[in-house]
């Protein structure tokens, strides 16, 4: 499989699980505790390592949660900025479970290492920096060779490429993993991953990574969970715009995922069992945004999201096709509608307005979706004035 073919596969995956797990999980104060609290590495690891005891089978449970949630790939932090590698046994359990369940295997790796004195001193300390670079190359290459096929390498904390000889490293690891996609290393990337936002790249592959509450690593006092409906709206908006969603959980010290996160992800999975046709293997914005809706398409089908409306009907415009039928996806109900040119009125009188979950409608068209620009929208070259 070529890299371009792998990019197509990645886009079809649509939705993944991000797992921030490391020694910081024992503190329950997030993954930046070493930095924010200005501890020495000795102080930090004295506090964290005794309690860092991942339970046997916890990585498998993460993967099973992803599958239950309708996710098609996962990304696990192999080491974060504190510099601690999570261990061979846990990583092997994770990759084996991903392959067993058919999930894409993603690995996060922080090049930044706050516990390495050479990294902290910077390139000015030539000897210390060189030791840091050599050790980093060695560890990344071991990860690329010891765990079978890796689908996705998610970098973080990367120094300028030349300072740690990125091109030299990538020449080696791309030979080891020729189908692997790489992101977030300034150069030689295959996709853009947006942290906490959805400003993707309309011309290239992209995803958004978001936290399920307000934290990446486990924070014991963070109970500000996103609702299933919020995540569904995030996911379907990204799919409309041509991107994936990578949703994060931060397991506790023993690797257990909080029950609130399990419940939310499972509920989204139930929704995807019914609506996955509108999410996974689809084309984004099939009417070239002229419908002014969150929409996806496939073949002669279009899938349109409606969250709220006014009155007993809802008008959708900008569709050049003749609409043959409209179905409410959650129950297969055939919807009554009227079409005049590019305007389609759907009878919404029996539906509940302004509920938390969006409605998705399946439009059967007379051919591949075609959009019609709004004739009321002026040419962009026309200058207008206003008060």
Tell me, what CATH number does 36's domain have?
Answer: 3.20.20.80
Model-level pTM? 0.95
Residues 111 and 58 in one domain: yes
Residues 251 and 314 in one domain: no
Domain that holds residue 79: 3-278
Burial class (CB in 10 A: 0-12, 13-18, 19+), 298: middle
Flag whether pLDDT at 56 surpasses 60.
Answer: yes
Residues 334 and 351 in one domain: yes
Last residue in a domain, options 278, 301, 321: 278
Task: Confirm if 161 and 167 have CB atoms less than 8 A apart.
Answer: yes
- Which pLDDT does position 168 carry in this prediction? 97
Q: Which residues of 61-70 are buried (b: 16+ CB within 10 A; e: fewer)?
A: bbbebbbebb
Mean pLDDT value of segment 84-102? 97
Residues 39 and 120 in one domain: yes
Residues 132 and 230 in one domain: yes
Say how many domains are in the chain. Answer: 2
- Tens-place pLDDT, residues 238-247: 999 999 999 9
Residues 167 and 229 in one domain: yes
Residues 339 and 217 in one domain: no
Residues 217 and 308 in one domain: no
SS3 (DSSP) at 177? coil
Residues 19 and 99 in one domain: yes
- Strand order across the 294-298 sheet: 283-284, 294-298, 301-306, 359-365, 323-328, 333-334
Name the DSSP class of 337: E
CATH of the domain at 294: 2.60.40.1180
What CA–CA distance (Å, rounded) separates 123 from 118? 8
Show the tokens assigned to 168.
């030299």
Question: Does residue 371 lie within any of the structural domains?
Answer: no
Question: Does residue 57 lie within any of the structural domains?
Answer: yes
- Which pLDDT does position 274 carry in this prediction? 98
Question: Does residue 384 lie within any of the structural domains?
Answer: no
- Which pLDDT does position 387 carry in this prediction? 43
Least confident segment among 9-13, 45-49, 197-201, 220-224: 197-201
Task: Confirm if 26 and 46 have CB atoms less than 8 A apart.
Answer: no
What CA–CA distance (Å, rounded) separates 132 from 111? 9
């Amino acid at each position: 499989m070529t890299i371009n073919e792998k990019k197509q596969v990645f886009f079809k995956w649509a939705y993944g699980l991000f797992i921030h797990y490391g020694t910081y999980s024992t503190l329950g104060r997030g993954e930046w505790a070493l930095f924010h609290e200005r501890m020495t590495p000795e102080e930090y690891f004295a506090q964290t390592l005794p309690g860092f005891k991942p339970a046997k089978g916890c990585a498998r449970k993460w993967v099973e949660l992803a599958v239950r949630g309708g996710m098609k790939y996962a990304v696990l932090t192999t080491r974060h900025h504190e510099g601690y590698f999570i261990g061979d046994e846990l990583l092997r359990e994770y990759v084996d479970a991903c392959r067993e369940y058919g999930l894409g295997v993603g690995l996060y790796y922080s090049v930044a290492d706050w516990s390495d004195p050479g990294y902290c001193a910077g390139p000015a300390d030539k000897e210390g920096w060189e030791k840091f670079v050599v050790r980093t190359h060695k560890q990344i290459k071991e990860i690329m060779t010891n765990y079978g096929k890796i689908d996705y390498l998610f970098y973080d904390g990367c120094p300028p490429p030349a300072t740690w000889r990125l091109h030299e490293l990538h020449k080696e690891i791309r030979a080891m993993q020729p189908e692997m996609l790489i992101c977030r290393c300034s150069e030689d990337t295959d996709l853009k991953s947006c942290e906490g936002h959805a400003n993707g790249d309309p011309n290239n592959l992209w995803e958004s990574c978001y936290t399920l509450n307000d934290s990446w690593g486990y924070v014991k006092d963070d109970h500000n969970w996103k609702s299933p409906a919020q995540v569904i709206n995030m996911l379907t908006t990204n799919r409309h715009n041509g991107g994936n969603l990578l949703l994060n959980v931060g397991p506790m010290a023993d690797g257990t995922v909080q029950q609130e996160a399990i419940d939310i992800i499972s509920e989204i999975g139930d929704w995807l069992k019914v609506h996955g046709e509108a999410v996974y293997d689809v084309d984004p914005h099939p009417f070239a945004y002229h419908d002014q809706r969150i929409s996806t398409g496939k073949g002669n089908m279009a899938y349109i999201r409606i969250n709220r409306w006014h009155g007993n009907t809802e008008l959708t415009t900008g569709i050049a096709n003749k609409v043959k039928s409209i179905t409410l996806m959650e129950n297969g109900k055939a919807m009554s509608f009227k079409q005049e040119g590019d305007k389609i009125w759907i009878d919404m009188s029996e539906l509940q307005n302004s509920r938390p979950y969006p409605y998705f409608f399946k439009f059967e068209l007379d051919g591949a979706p075609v959009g019609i620009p709004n004739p009321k929208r002026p040419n962009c070259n026309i200058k207008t004035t206003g008060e």
